[in-house]
Structure 1
Amino acid sequence: MPVVASRRPSAPQAATPGTGSVVLVGGGPGDPGLLTVAGLEAVRGADVVVTDRLAPLSVLDQAPPHAEVVDVAKIPRGSFTPQERINELLVEHARAGRRVVRLKGGDPFVFGRGGEEWQACAEAGIPVEVVPGVSSALAGPALAGVPLTHRTLTQGFTVVSGHLPPHAAGSTLDWGALARSGTTLVVLMGIATLPAITEELVAQGMPATTPALTVTDAGLPAQRSVSGTVVDIAAIGEAAGVRAPAVTVIGAVAALAQQLPAPVGRPRRPPGGSSAAG
């Protein structure tokens, strides 16, 4: 079985039938300037780019003229490409001798299904490389002025998926342990389930006054955030029209977004000088 290599991609070579490969590239939270140099090099050497709506789409301008772009967007409660089909596309193009870049938002191995894609390629005998990306779990809070750890406030953080609410069939999270952990809690993919999640956290012992913050469209010009407590952050976000993609931070550090000066902004320009995607 091929061994996954977490390193910068090797120099692109001419595609030859039967010698293709796949590079799983984490595109970061959406700002093309937060894509790594290694990730950009992979896009520039691609024959095929399989991408979705949360990737920094403006960097597609950096792909070679001959490169084929395949859109496999997944829209919450909307149209989507099944993960099984995405896996098949990666294998099909690689078997045709192409260098395939799977470009996605955040980090491929942090709720990005990169593990499933690597397994599918490995089982098919396709060489796979991984270029880590900046996860929205880290970037979203940072761009909103929230440090996930702080020497005087918390000694750790936990990142969880909010895709399933507490007590749902298939949920494996111990919400009671999370409520009493004393660490920062970061919830991804949890806008729809946030009312149930916060209610359960309080029921399991988290103080009702615990600060909370939700940031949406982190790293993009449309970025904004709302603040409250664990009790009311879901209602505040709903009233403000907060929608996915969004990250919710629950813990003492969430209050720092309002107490400290905002982070210095950085130009949101994609590599190569083209305009950023909205």
Structure 2
Amino acid sequence: MGKALGNHAVPQDQINALLVQHAQAGRQVVRLKGGDPFVFGRGGEEVQALQAAGIGFEVVPGVTAASGCATAAGIPLTHRDLAGSCIFLPGHLADESDAYDWAALARPGQTRVFYMGVQRLPHIARQLIAHGLAPDTPAAIVRDGTRATQRFWATGLSRLVTLAPSYGPQPGLVIIGETVQLSHCFERQ
């Protein structure tokens, strides 16, 4: 039941129904998800469906993409001297509204991680820069993080926006903040 940005082989409500259907049929159901099921993994929605049907379950935590990808790319999410906090955000909101507090996100001292954020990187960068983030703030795109096919680009935010189209349509993680400069792949401008 793989998913890609804008291309869901099986819609989430059907996945929920299948989980319930097979469990009610007496089968032992295992739902394997990449990353942590409760960090933009829709695990919460699946749990709600199981709870509503009175089905017992166990959730096994995973390593969220933000942590795995950042570490694989040599990017600390926090650092005593550079970023005291980290925030995870979806690159696309469910209703496509622009509900982020961009002024708060542009403040220094934090690492911002946008899941599935590559396609909206121009908008994200425009908003952050308009609200005070320096255009040369270190930023990275990580694709297939922790896999043999992993690829990443790390440079200043404005330059990354110009490179993003060559990245292609694949989903990826966008990491923005001073800690990106610590990566071995950071391209100094």
TM-score of the two chains, using structure 2 as the length reference: 0.91
User: Out of 157, 161, 170, which is 1:234 matched to?
Assistant: 161
Report the alpha carbon displacement of residue 234 of structure 1 after superposing the two structures with TM. Answer: 2.2
- Mapped to 2, the partners of 1:242 and 1:249 lie a distance apart of 17
The residue matched to 1:103 in structure 2 has which SS?
coil
**1:101 corresponds to:** 30
Structure 1 position 136 matched with structure 2 position 62: no
State the Cα deviation string for residues 90-123 of structure 1 (Å, max 9, x = none).
0000001111111111100000000000000000
User: Out of 44, 47, 59, which is 1:115 matched to?
Assistant: 44
**2:151 corresponds to:** 224
The residue matched to 2:153 in structure 1 has which SS?
strand
Report the alpha carbon displacement of residue 248 of structure 1 after superposing the two structures with TM. Answer: 1.2
The residue matched to 1:84 in structure 2 has which SS?
helix
State the Cα deviation string for residues 122-179 of structure 1 (Å, max 9, x = none).
00000021100000011101000001111111111111011149xx753432122111
**1:216, 1:242 within 8 Å by CA — same for their partners in 2?**
no
User: Out of 170, 181, 184, which is 1:244 matched to?
Assistant: 170
Report the alpha carbon displacement of residue 258 of structure 1 after superposing the two structures with TM. Answer: 3.0
- Mapped to 2, the partners of 1:214 and 1:230 lie a distance apart of 10
State the Cα deviation string for residues 54-101 of structure 1 (Å, max 9, x = none).
xxxxxxxxxxxxxxxxxx222323352111000000000000111111
**2:118, 2:141 within 8 Å by CA — same for their partners in 1?**
no
The residue matched to 2:3 in structure 1 has which SS?
coil
**2:10 corresponds to:** 81
Rg larger in 1 or in 2? 1
Gaps of 5+ in 2: none
**2:84 corresponds to:** 155
Give matches, 1:196-211, under 5 Å. 196-211=123-138
- Mapped to 2, the partners of 1:136 and 1:259 lie a distance apart of 18
In the superposition, relative to structure 1, how do residues 207 and 176 fare at CA in structure 2: closer, same or farther (>3 Å)?
Answer: same
The residue matched to 2:162 in structure 1 has which SS?
helix
The residue matched to 2:105 in structure 1 has which SS?
helix
**1:164, 1:193 within 8 Å by CA — same for their partners in 2?**
no
**1:212 corresponds to:** 139
- Mapped to 2, the partners of 1:86 and 1:237 lie a distance apart of 32
Overall identity of the aligned pairs, in %? 44
Name the count of aligned residue pairs. Answer: 186
Gaps of 5+ in 1: 1-71, 261-278
State the Cα deviation string for residues 226-248 of structure 1 (Å, max 9, x = none).
11112121221322x24433111
- Mapped to 2, the partners of 1:259 and 1:130 lie a distance apart of 35
Q: Give the residue type in structure 1 aligned to 2:75.
A: V
- Mapped to 2, the partners of 1:170 and 1:100 lie a distance apart of 35
The residue matched to 1:225 in structure 2 has which SS?
strand
- Mapped to 1, the partners of 2:154 and 2:142 lie a distance apart of 9
